[in-house]
Chains A and B, each alone.
Chain A
């Protein structure tokens, strides 16, 4: 391998990081406040929720699936958790109920997708609507506020100067990384997305392992829902709306193939950071908030286009 090929390989492997670095440099020039430690921590804190869901979304997309119900799971887990906290005042119970909500939602998604064979897009689209309805019925449309300071610490607190959501984020990604690259389960995730029938004929339990993927993402979404509720100090009926798009965008910007079978977990967190940094810099520059989405959309298109170009090029080099 000559120097040129080596350089190219480095560029290919780290393409998402390079895009993030470029955005960071431009952002630093545009606004002096951007690089301050407090602003940086703030960005990561905000990004952590998208990134935690994105970790689950990476698993789902690697199997060739999709989960549109994550935003509703965030909202429902947050609402139930806040509701339980209000009536019982028990933080462990509130957190437990929140996570249990995710577990059940994921189990239902997995049942329809893995067991019954309904396309993931349709099953989770239905669940997205259904669960949002549950939130509205449960909350009656009014936000449930949270009083407990211990509970709020999950979203707002710090340990040794590091915000709790960031600690959770690191833990989630470490676990996800180990699961995907160092366990038999990770292999089956790639195998199912790579070629479902070949995986089945190779003796992989496709139904069971695909089912687990939807449980993982819903659990992580409910965790995100708890963090969100804790940070805002309230569970609104609209909480989590549109989160599915940010999570999917993070995975795609991270270079994971929507067709399944190819991709990595760590670039997803970079994808989420790219989206978060954009949001942040646009806010710092006092850009009309309505226009933010336009910029985000454009960046997603550019990132995916760049990714495709990179893949075409590396396919040529490898030929």
Chain B
């Protein structure tokens, strides 16, 4: 593999959207066969750049060279024909067509008589799947596949078009740890075959594990490109944020005594006989692999999933948390792990989203007091530092971090004594992450308690006073702040110890 063979080169690329300069003179060189990670906060320009490289957007000025030849794509098809393919976070697969049909959708083989050549199709698909070591019947409809398998089919699609550069946008977002390992080994073998991978991810640990080089973006420009061996975690984070975030997880004093919530023998979908206590001002972490029941437990406590058996006591009195409405009334707030489908109403304004759970507060005799509402919303936008053009902006036009802050504002307005948070920083950039952690700490200082369910172990360890580890619907271990580390948590979560 020739080391310094540049396959894709971007020179002073500028992209202007009406009123916004999304890219401001980007330089980027991708070598043949390298795994090149791109990172930066939301809005730094990564996605725009990827859309330009893959032909979804034209660029305003600058030059782009592919294999030494100047190119300017007018469609994604043009880019694909040259050899640049992109795999989006939301896959472009047709659910009821077979794996083979999806792979060759753009160039389905035909027989001489014009009829469809099933045999060749399935055979060619099988060859590609074998190359990816994916043991799946090419005739299986795509909707029968797991997320990880569907992703492999996307990769196979790129290979079928002889892609020389494959762009992957947050490919691990929905994968389990095991599946991520498989994906990584495939990405590595593709790179050995000479295919260049442009890899976008919020998860910095992945970048260190996988990439050869990393380019950091900030405010529409590339700030630096480094070999992965020449850069440390802290340095990378500071380059992304543009300032030194020395301590992502701020220090906090905690000496909780008073029990605010007592859960006894909680049983429901995916959760078996779970009991625990939550203290005032405590952040209680709940760890567990996908399917361990940790997300389900949080939803049962909030009444979003019915509780089959068990008892919840809040402040020593039995509490009825049968529905989210009742749970809210009992003083429980809830941040869903699925912000877009369960957290926000994307097509309504920031204002309406923030006031939604506390309409009573801004209404007199059921009539909305618009002045009071605007005051409440403005106060939250300021105190949580939510970046919006106005409170009438639609939820869907905000970045992930700001959407999550809107969710927080909505919940804080209900003045909960206990707040359950599922993956509160998923898909949120580092700057907003740090702000969310500060909000959480401020909440505990006010005497609120937090149940934190997260698959981000550094976050869980950094934030929690105590961590409960779940496996197969049960709590298998409880660790205090000073006892917990990633290896230990994973070992209990996966069932390696304590049988």
A residues touching B (Cβ–Cβ < 8 Å)?
Answer: 182-188, 190-191, 194-195, 197-205, 261-262, 316-319
- Rounded to whole Å, the gap between the CB of B421 and the closest CB of chain A is 13
| Complex contact A187–B367 (CB within 8 A) | no
| Complex contact B348–A197 (CB within 8 A) | no
8 sample A-B contacts, Cβ–Cβ < 8 Å, listed by A number: A183-B366, A184-B359, A188-B359, A190-B345, A195-B341, A262-B347, A316-B18, A319-B18
| Complex contact B304–A198 (CB within 8 A) | no
| Complex contact A203–B345 (CB within 8 A) | no
| Complex contact A183–B17 (CB within 8 A) | no
Complex: A137 Cα to B313 Cα, angstroms: 57
Tell me which residues across on chain A come within 8 A of B346, comparing CB atoms: 194-195
Q: Which of B17, B342, B352, B367 contacts A201 (CB 8 A)?
A: B342
| Complex contact A203–B344 (CB within 8 A) | no
Tell me which residues across on chain B come within 8 A of A261, comparing CB atoms: 345, 347-348
**Interface of chain B residues 273 through 325 with chain A (CB within 8 A):** 302, 304, 324-325
Given contacts A318-B397, A319-B17, contact A198 B341 (CB under 8 A): yes
How many residues belonging to B are interface residues under a CB distance threshold of 8 Å? 32
- Rounded to whole Å, the gap between the CB of B66 and the closest CB of chain A is 27
Q: A203-B357, A316-B18 are in contact. List 10 more A-B contacts (CB 8 A).
A: A182-B370, A183-B366, A186-B368, A191-B345, A194-B348, A198-B344, A203-B325, A261-B345, A261-B348, A318-B397
| Complex contact A203–B348 (CB within 8 A) | no
Complex: A204 Cα to B353 Cα, angstroms: 12
Complex: A53 Cα to B342 Cα, angstroms: 32
The tally of CB-CB contacts under 8 A between chains A and B is: 79
| Complex contact B342–A197 (CB within 8 A) | yes
| Complex contact B345–A199 (CB within 8 A) | yes
Given contacts A316-B18, A318-B397, contact A204 B348 (CB under 8 A): no
| Complex contact B325–A195 (CB within 8 A) | no
In the complex formed, the residue of A with least CB distance to B346 is A195
In the complex formed, the residue of A with least CB distance to B362 is A184
Complex: A37 Cα to B324 Cα, angstroms: 55
The contact string, 1 if C-beta is below 8 Å from chain A, for chain B 382-414, is 000000000000000100000000000010001
- Rounded to whole Å, the gap between the CB of A64 and the closest CB of chain B is 11
Complex: A201 Cα to B324 Cα, angstroms: 5
| Complex contact A201–B304 (CB within 8 A) | yes
Given contacts A182-B367, A262-B347, contact A202 B397 (CB under 8 A): no
**Interface of chain B residues 330 through 381 with chain A (CB within 8 A):** 334, 336, 341-348, 352, 355-357, 359-360, 363, 366-368, 370
| Complex contact A187–B352 (CB within 8 A) | yes
Tell me which residues across on chain B come within 8 A of A204, comparing CB atoms: 325, 356
In the complex formed, the residue of B with least CB distance to A197 is B342
Asked if B248 is at the interface of the complex by the 8 Å CB criterion, the answer is no
| Complex contact B368–A184 (CB within 8 A) | yes
| Complex contact B328–A187 (CB within 8 A) | no
In the complex formed, the residue of A with least CB distance to B355 is A187
Given contacts A190-B352, A191-B348, contact A197 B341 (CB under 8 A): yes
In the complex formed, the residue of A with least CB distance to B373 is A187
Tell me which residues across on chain B come within 8 A of A199, comparing CB atoms: 345, 356
Complex: A181 Cα to B347 Cα, angstroms: 16
| Complex contact A183–B368 (CB within 8 A) | yes
